[in-house]
Structures are given as structure tokens and as C-alpha cells.
Structure 1
Amino acid sequence: MNWLDEINEEIENNVPSIANEREQWKKHSIYKVPSQLTELNEKAYVPRAISFGPYHYGKEHLKPMEEHKHRALLHFLKRCGESFKSIFQKLDKVAQELRDSYKSHDSIWINDTSKFIQMMILDGCFILEFLRVNVDSNTPTDYDENDPVFGEKGKFYLASYIKRDMLMLENQIPMMVLHKLIQLQIDGDEEKDHHELLNKIIIATLRGFSNRNVGKCLHVLDVYRKNVIQEPSYTDTLNSCLEASEEDHLNRSAMELKYTGINFETSETISLEVSEEDEDHLNRSAMELKYTGINFKSSETISLEVSEEDEDHLNQSAMKLKETRINFKSSETSLEVSEEDKDDIIELVIEDHEHALPQSAMVVKKTGINFKTSETSLKVSKEDEDHLNRSAMELKEAGISFKKSKTRSLKDVSFNRGVLRLPKLVVDDHTECMFLNLIAFELLHVDGTRKEVISFVCFIDTIIDSAVDVAILIRSGIIINYLESDKAVAKLFNSLAKEIPMDREGELEEVTKSMISYCKKPWKSWRASLIQTYFRNPWAMVSLVAAFFLFALTIIQTIYTVGQFYQKD
């Protein structure tokens, strides 16, 4: 039988109906991330401490945790009073359903059901034991305090890595396994549904607080996702108290502490002599250090001659360097942009690549560099105008202010009367991994999953172009930065949105259109400019009032003088 005959036979006998294909796709909930996504950051999808499920089972760097899974199983069995055989039999009844949760399998898991169920039990018991000892420090435990995983030492060292691995799409087990096991642990009644209790334990462990119910979920990552995209609810006072309690334990930078009302004083006036070569060794931005009371003086007035070929070597924004009293001068040249080079210049201005100028055209213009097209100009249709991206700095200059939302739901984004409200984001070393796996799940899962996380990430990417935009959001209490710099945060969010399709029908698109409509009103920008220029501090206000007073006196004097002149006549 040749290949053509085989194809014809398959068409006649094996082509599934649309309904059958739909049902098959609905069964899948755990996926291998395709290379199109992993090539951007492969490490974000690979567990570092422990494997759950078949995709990373047996990898050399994860094998040390297998003995701890076995210990967790023994503790679980002893506490719930069940035999391993009875647990095995209960999961064996749903073995095919558990296998169907995975999009693809190695042949070993298809042919050896016993080994597959054994893996599910070991992984499930470990997760439940980990949740039990980490959800509440007052929970009684039958582990020694020096236990490397479940004791105080494990909580301090390993817990953060395990939590990170629990949020990886390829590192999931079906929620059904955890449901079956927790029923045995609580009361042994299989008729009772404990899924909301389990969801709250997971959320409390991974996020530090738990609020409303999230419904039935597919796996731990799905529980986390449904929690972060819940519809905003402002009546949950318990959640607010827990968030406030969590904030008390966050380490703050000097700039963030200042905005909570804490002032800093130096024992004596300190001036740092910053030469051009020492400038690169400052660990904090000049803007942030200035808030601690440290003043900057340059050893001599430095003027950077910015020519066309030197543009790509600017590593700091003009605004931050200006804080150190470094002045910029252009070399009296403007960039002549031909038609074929136009796209390259646009890419240079709006993207934050390693060898590209990391600031918007507005910031670059402040250095004295002018942009000119040789003959043509960019024409933007009215339809496309509504989708132009504006950074936080540009929005602020247009009169838009930023405030923290009342909840931490990613859907709690609103714009009203010139105020953009965004949920608080704690950005640390695990943030990128978490968002990338949530994005991968939304892209790959087909059963009614909307793109809420993707919409939020794309929206944040539009308003963060540089470290200056991040600084604005930090001052507004929206971003809590645990990374090394504000620039690192900007780079993180810009990289998250790479090659992700924009959802122009999403809920946040309406927020974007409302902001752009607001920005089109020129008097809003004038008002914002007036406030930022003359009302930023009391001394500026006093100067403005004094100027108006003197101006009024001058007018009165002029009127009086003119009046006297006409009286003499």
C-alpha cells in the first residue's frame, strides 16, 4: 500500500468529527510550551528545585528532591491513616482522565499506568505537605525544625524556589489529584467538595493572602491565575487588612520610604564628587539618591557632544543625568531621515534593545538632538491614532495622574477624570517567570480562557518605556521594585510583551481609548504643565503669588500715573 492509499484510508475511517475534536481539546489543561515562546527565555519554563508531573520528571538537577517526596508521602499516610494501596486504587480509577489532562506524553507514561499513578501520588502528597507547613507559621507540624524542606530552614531557603516551580505551566499536576488526597486528609468523605478550601490554601501560600472564591480550577497555576484576575471587589475588608499586613514586611527603598512619610537626615552634609568615569559605578539612580539627602556635584562642568554615531552609547536617560548637573549639547547636527531609513529610526526610538537608545523621542529631544525627515512625514489615520502608545511620562505631561487601585486584581484598571488607577505590583526575581507562564497558559488553553493577563501585560508595556516611567509608577505606589534598578523593571515588562498579539477588543482597550481622548484636549496639558511648573513645592507657589502681586502693583501704578497725566491736562 502506497502513501496515497494510506491517506485515503485514513480519510475514510479515522477523520474525527468537529465535536470529537472539540471534546478532545477540552480535556487538555497542561501543555509543553512551544519553542516560539521558550526561545525568548528558556529558563522561565524550566523548574529549578523540583519536578511535578511527567514533563520534567527524572532530570538530573531535580533528582535530589525525589527522596523528600518520599518522606512527604510517609508523613501524609501516617497522618491521614490511609494505606498507599487504597490511595493508589482511588487514583487508578481516574488514570485515563489524569493522562488526558496532558497535551503530550512520553510512551513510558502511556504504557506504564502504575508508574504514572505513583508519580501523581508522590507529587500530590508533596504539594499538600508543602502547603500545610507554609500556609501558616502556627500550623502544628510533625517535621523537625531543621528539616531541609519542611522545617524553618527549608522555609527560609527552598520555599521561594518551590513556589516558583509550582507556577510553571509544564510543571503541573491535575487538581483532581489534590482533591482526592485532601479529602482523605480532612475527613475521608469523598462526597464532600473541598475545592474552595484547597484553593484558598494555595493562594494564601503563593500570594500571602486569600480573598473570595475562585471556583473549580484545573491546576495550581490556574488557581493563581483566577485569583489575580478576579473582578474587583471593594467590600473584602479582610483582604485589605492582610494586604496592609503584608506591606509592613516589605523592604522599601529610600524613595518609597519617603512617600510613606519617613524622612532621612544625614549626620552632616555630604557631597559626592562625581566624575564622568565614576558615574557608571553608582548603584542607584541620582533621582533616588537625591531623596536620601545626598547632593551631587560634578567635579567640573561636563558637556557631552552627542553626534549621530555616538547616539547608541547613551546608557542613561537625559532626565537622570541632568540630576547630576551634567549638561548635554548636540554637535549642531540633525538626523536626516530618508524614506528607507524611517523604519530603523522609529525602531531606534521606541524599543529598548541593548544597542539602541533606550529613551523615547521626547527624552532624546531634550538632549538637543532634532529629528527631521528628508521629504516625507508619518501620516497616522484617525483609526490608528487611537492605538498610539503613550508612556507614563507622556501621560503625566498630558495631565494624567496615577493612583493605586483598591485591589490587586489585574482587572482593576480604570481611568476616570484624568486619574489612571492600576493594581499594585511587587516586582522581584520571580515576576518574569510567573507572567510568562500565565501568558503561555492563556495562549495555549482553548476551553473558554480569555486573555486577561495578556491584555494587562500589553497595557503595562505601553506605558513603560524607560526607567523614568517606572519611577513615576513607584512614586504612585503602583510598583514595588525589588530588582536592581528601575531600568531592569522597564526591560522586564518590555520583554514580556514581545511577539504577543494585542487584543484590541479587550476591556483595557476602552481604558486606552479614554486616555487618548483625554490627551487630545490641549487645555488638560496646559493645566498639568502649570501645576508641575509652579505648584510642585511651596516655594514655587510663593514665587508665583509674588510675581502676580508685583504685576498687579505695576498695573495699578501705571493706571495711577496715566490718570494723573490726564488730570493735569
Structure 2
Amino acid sequence: MGEIRSPYFSLGQYNYGDNSDIHSPYFSYGGGDYHGDNAEIHPPYSSAGDYHGDNAEIHQTYSSAGDYAAEIHPPYSSAGDYFGDNAEIHSPYSSAGDYLADNTEIHSEALFHQHISGNSYKAQQFAEHGKVTRHVRAALNYEQESDVCIYRVGKALRKSNKAMYSPRQISIGPIHNGNRNLRFMERKKYVYYEQFWKGRVSNEREREGAEDKFWDALEKDKDKIRQCYEDGSHEIEKSEDFLGLILYDAIFIFELFLKYNEDKDGEVFKKDSILKEPGLRLAIRRDLILLENQLPFFILEKLYDLLPENTKGKDTEFKTLACSYFKRHLPSNLPPAETTPKHFTDLVRSLLSFTRNGKSVEQIKSFHSATRLRQAGVKFKIPRERDCLLDVDFSRLRTEFYIPKLEIDGNTERLFRNLMALEKRLYPGQEYICHYINLLSILVVKPKDAKLLMENKIVIHNDKDAVRDLIYSLSSVHTIDSHSCYHDIFSAVDDYYKSSWATNPAYFIEEFFGNFWKGVATVSAAGLLILTSVQTICAILGLR
């Protein structure tokens, strides 16, 4: 999500792009401007209907109607202008109804002299003498941008590997609704919908009453539900169609989770048309974690609370029911965060990384691969008590590096890619999954590093090259900098490495005899040194 460091005010249609970063006041109303890719705006600009292309940059005052501009550095004022993704605005900006695209960054103040009506928060509360006061974001009623939690991943990520973010078996929510490749499961969803009402709600009168309650709850929160989805992420405009889809998919999820919870000896699975197929069960679970394939968690909780107690079984809270479904397949014994997750992707992140919550993020100064650390005497082990996948630790006293076991399968890359995409957008500064992948990428530089972790049962797989390639692929998904919540561990490891390498013969073996040519060079250098020493001694004796 975007970062807003000063007041933001708008009326009418809007669309704020991915990762918009707004450093100064911005006001807009009316119009429908679109600001293009990577535009950087620095000087005064005035235009009607201008198109500023990708990476456009204008360094001087520009005034035109319908002109195509490059990079803009000074104040900008326009109605109907087009700025691209990653637009960066460095000076005063004033516009009517502008469309701010992905990664928009505004570094300075905007002047706002228009009269705005129809909003309870008066414009004059923000502006004094033509200058907008800062740091009043908490007072704003306009919170749509902060509510967005379900969206399509960026174009660059989709282009790199679209299959990692798209459902293969089932569509949940509006973004992938209507995908013809998923029609098989639409029929299955209808079966579950009927089973839920006929099997769990005993008669038609009760069904009608329950459906009415569900629909009333959806109607009451329809605006809040829509605000969870990024503008332009789907094309379902009619309110009835949109809410009907949410209800339909929510009932499918309830029925699926309840059946999982009721299965004690596999009998439920055997009798069910979906659950009896292990491959289909696995595919559905994988699709339910995808970032683009979500329903807002708050509405699922609200609808679940409306169910009769005898329908819910032992799990009276939906979060508990959802955790029991996902934790079967996750290396985690953690409870979820106390706050309500935004959706299932967010819930899974919480189950994996909650122990990292509150950890400071600082720069890593030194890096050492797994084989280098082993040569210095570090032993890699699995912790005896593992709460979650991210619980990494280092004991300098015992020279033991504790890393929880990671089982790599066909879904590992999809899972981590979606969690990392979520963190980059919604959790800036708390990208704990990204930090974990960064740690693995530092340890596993070559296949021999992967082999070492595999030999110590930290990574479960049978192909060291595939493990190394997977970690490299994940670390290259997003630009991962050298800041990490594991900075203290890296610092402790580095201190030990520097103090122990000179006393460890394994270091010299690797450093000077690591391969054939290193060995030849070492022997040659040693021989030359010996011959030189003998020659020097002989010369000294000859002089006597």
C-alpha cells in the first residue's frame, strides 16, 4: 500500500496505483486525469489533456495543450493530464480529478484554493494562507487507499511468471471470476453451496431466514467490501452481482473448512466429490493462498458469526477454523496475530512470521555462505523446538546456526512469491518473509551450499541445483536490500567468523586447496618460497 506522509484529499472517481508514496499534501476533485509510467515532475507545468509517457522527465517550465512531455520538475497544474506508473512529483501540485498511478511520489506541498463541498471535513481545515498543513492524516475521512488489500500483482511480476499468481483450479472473489479455465470448479462450488444450505440448515424457512441475514450483512458493508479491492482489478459493476459472488464464494469456503474440520478418519473425504481427490484438495488449498484470489476476512468472520452454533461445530470463531485448515500444511505452531487478518494470504503470513513482529530492521554489513561458515567451524542444526519457519538463531558459545526445516515442494515458490508481493505492498519495513528469503540467498550461493543444508536436514529436497535455483529465483523477485530483521544474527556470525578462521585448518584447505588450480598455485608458491629461502641461506654461508 501507499505511504502518505501528508494530507490527501479527493472527491469523485479516483484510482491510486501500486505503492504510491505521497510525501506532501495532494488535493484533487472532479476530472479524471491519468498520470503515466515513471513520470517525474519537477517544474511548473500547465496543460489540458497532456500525455506524459513512461519515464518521462521535464526539467523546465512547460505549458501546452495536448503535448507529450518527458520529465517535470516544478509545480504542475492540469485537468485531464496523464502521468504514468512510478510518477514522482517534486514540487507543488494542483489538479482537478487527477489519476495517480503506481508508485507516485510527491515530495513537496500542493496549493489548494478550490471550494470543496459535499465532504464533512472542510477544506479550510487543511489550508491556511494557501499552504496546506502537514501530519493530519489521522483526521482524514478519506481512507479508501488504506483499505485496499486485494489487488493484482504488478505488471513486472506477472510478466516474469504469471502462473505464480493466477489460480489453477478455483476462482475466489471477483478478480479471476469468469475464467473459462476454472469452469470445472464452478460446478463443484454450486454443489457445496446447496449442500451447505440443505445439509447444515435443515428446512427452507430457516434457509430463507439465514440467507436474508447474510444478504443484509453484505448490503450493509458493500462499500467497505468494494474498497478492499483495488480500482480496476475487476469488472463487476452491479452491486447485486458483486455481493452475490461474495456470498457464493463465502459459503463454499465455510463448507470446505467445516468438512475438513469434521474429518476424523478420512470418511468425509471418501464420500465427498472434491475432497476424495488428493490432488484436487492440494490445488484448492494452493489457490486459496494466492493474493489475487481472496475475499476480505472481516466479511467472512461476520457471515460466519451469523450461523447457528450447532452448524459451526467446535470452532465457534472463523479465525480458529481457518487456522486449522491452513496449519495442516504449514511448518508453524504459532497462533495467528491478535489483529484480524486482511485475508487468507495475510493469515498465512501471520502464522509464519508473527515471532518476528517488532524486530528491528537494520543493515547487514557482512555476508558468508553456508560452506564458508562450515569451514570456520559453524554447525548447522534444526532447532529442537520450532515455533515457526522464521525462527532462525545462532549460538556463538556452541557455534551452532539454528534454522528450521524447510520442505520444498511444487507449491513453495508460489507460496513465497505471493507472501513477498503482499509484504512489499502492505508491510513496508516489516517484510519478514522477504528477509527470510534474503537470509537463504546469502547462505546458498552455490549448489554446494544447498547440499550442505540438505545434508543437515534444514532443506528437504533431492536436488541441490534445484534448491539453489529456487532460492535465487525468489530472491530476484523483488529488490531485496541489505536491511534485515536478522541483522543481529549476521553480526554475531560475522564476529565469530573473523575470530575463528585463522585457527581453523578447514579454512586453509578450502582457501588454498579448494580446487586443482588453487592447489597448483599454492604448491608452486610454497616451492618457490622454499627455493628462495635455500638460495638465500646458501648465499649467506658462501660469504662466510
Give TM-score, length-normalised by structure 2. Answer: 0.62
CA distance in structure 2 between the partners assigned to 1:449 and 1:24 by the alignment: 22
Q: Of 504, 512, 533, which aligns to 2:490?
A: 512
SS at match of 1:521: helix
SS at match of 1:145: helix
CA contact (8 A) 1:149 1:158 kept: yes
CA shift in 2, pair 1:189/1:51, >3 Å: closer
SS at match of 2:368: coil
CA distance in structure 1 between the partners assigned to 2:392 and 2:331 by the alignment: 22
SS at match of 1:114: helix
Question: What's 1:398 paired with?
Answer: 376
SS at match of 1:170: coil
CA distance in structure 2 between the partners assigned to 1:209 and 1:388 by the alignment: 29
Question: What's 1:220 paired with?
Answer: 344
1:460 matched to 2:440? The reply is yes
- CA offsets 1:292-338 (integer angstroms, 9 cap, x no match): xxxxxxxxxxxxxxxxxxxxxxxxxxxxxxxxxxxxxxxxxxxxxxx
Residue identity opposite 1:228 in structure 2: L
Q: Of 75, 95, 104, which aligns to 2:231?
A: 104
1:187 matched to 2:312? The reply is no
CA distance in structure 2 between the partners assigned to 1:512 and 1:22 by the alignment: 42
Q: Of 162, 176, 192, which aligns to 2:298?
A: 176
Question: What's 2:152 paired with?
Answer: 32
1:113 matched to 2:186? The reply is no
Question: What's 2:457 paired with?
Answer: 477
CA contact (8 A) 2:336 2:354 kept: no
**RCO comparison, higher one (Cα < 8 Å, 6+):** 1
1:130 matched to 2:256? The reply is yes
User: Which structure: greater helix fraction?
Assistant: 1
How much does 1:523 deviate?
4.8
Question: What's 1:410 paired with?
Answer: 389
How much does 1:85 deviate?
3.1
CA distance in structure 1 between the partners assigned to 2:492 and 2:252 by the alignment: 48
1:432 matched to 2:413? The reply is yes
Question: What's 2:215 paired with?
Answer: 88
SS at match of 1:420: strand
Q: What are the residue-to-residue correspondences of 1:91-490 with 2, within 5 Å? A: 91-105=218-232, 108-109=235-236, 111-135=237-261, 137-138=263-264, 145-150=270-275, 152=276, 154=277, 156-187=278-309, 194-207=317-330, 211-215=334-338, 216-231=340-355, 387-405=365-383, 406-417=385-396, 418-445=399-426, 450-481=430-461, 485-490=463-468
Question: What's 1:54 paired with?
Answer: 174
How much does 1:112 deviate?
0.7
CA shift in 2, pair 1:65/1:529, >3 Å: same
CA contact (8 A) 1:231 1:412 kept: yes
Residue identity opposite 2:345 in structure 1: L
1:6 matched to 2:131? The reply is no
Structure 2 gap ranges (5+): 1-46, 50-76, 81-94, 98-111, 127-135, 511-544
How much does 1:23 deviate?
2.6
Residue identity opposite 2:306 in structure 1: L
CA shift in 2, pair 1:40/1:2, >3 Å: closer
CA shift in 2, pair 1:468/1:13, >3 Å: farther
**What RMSD over aligned residues (CA atoms) do the two structures have, in Å?**
3.4
Question: What's 2:499 paired with?
Answer: 521
How much does 1:39 deviate?
2.3
CA distance in structure 2 between the partners assigned to 1:52 and 1:470 by the alignment: 36
CA distance in structure 1 between the partners assigned to 2:182 and 2:422 by the alignment: 23
Structure 1 gap ranges (5+): 234-382, 533-569
The number of aligned residues is 373
Q: Of 53, 73, 76, which aligns to 2:193?
A: 73
Residue identity opposite 1:129 in structure 2: E
How much does 1:91 deviate?
1.5
Question: What's 2:475 paired with?
Answer: 497
CA distance in structure 2 between the partners assigned to 1:524 and 1:407 by the alignment: 34
User: Which structure: greater strand fraction?
Assistant: 2
CA distance in structure 1 between the partners assigned to 2:368 and 2:234 by the alignment: 51
CA shift in 2, pair 1:188/1:147, >3 Å: closer
- CA offsets 1:477-503 (integer angstroms, 9 cap, x no match): 21111xx61210110011101153335
CA distance in structure 2 between the partners assigned to 1:222 and 1:96 by the alignment: 21
- CA offsets 1:68-127 (integer angstroms, 9 cap, x no match): 111111111220453333322221211111111111246742x31111111111111112
How much does 1:203 deviate?
3.0
How much does 1:136 deviate?
5.5
- CA offsets 1:468-521 (integer angstroms, 9 cap, x no match): 21121122221111xx61210110011101153335443212211221222112
CA distance in structure 2 between the partners assigned to 1:175 and 1:138 by the alignment: 27
CA contact (8 A) 2:334 2:352 kept: no
- CA offsets 1:14-45 (integer angstroms, 9 cap, x no match): 79977249732221111210012222222100
Residue identity opposite 2:392 in structure 1: V
CA distance in structure 2 between the partners assigned to 1:127 and 1:397 by the alignment: 50
Give TM-score, length-normalised by structure 1. Answer: 0.59
| Aligned residues with identical type, % of pairs | 24
SS at match of 2:478: coil
CA shift in 2, pair 1:106/1:42, >3 Å: closer
SS at match of 1:493: helix
Q: Which moved more, 1:403-412 or 1:47-56?
A: 403-412
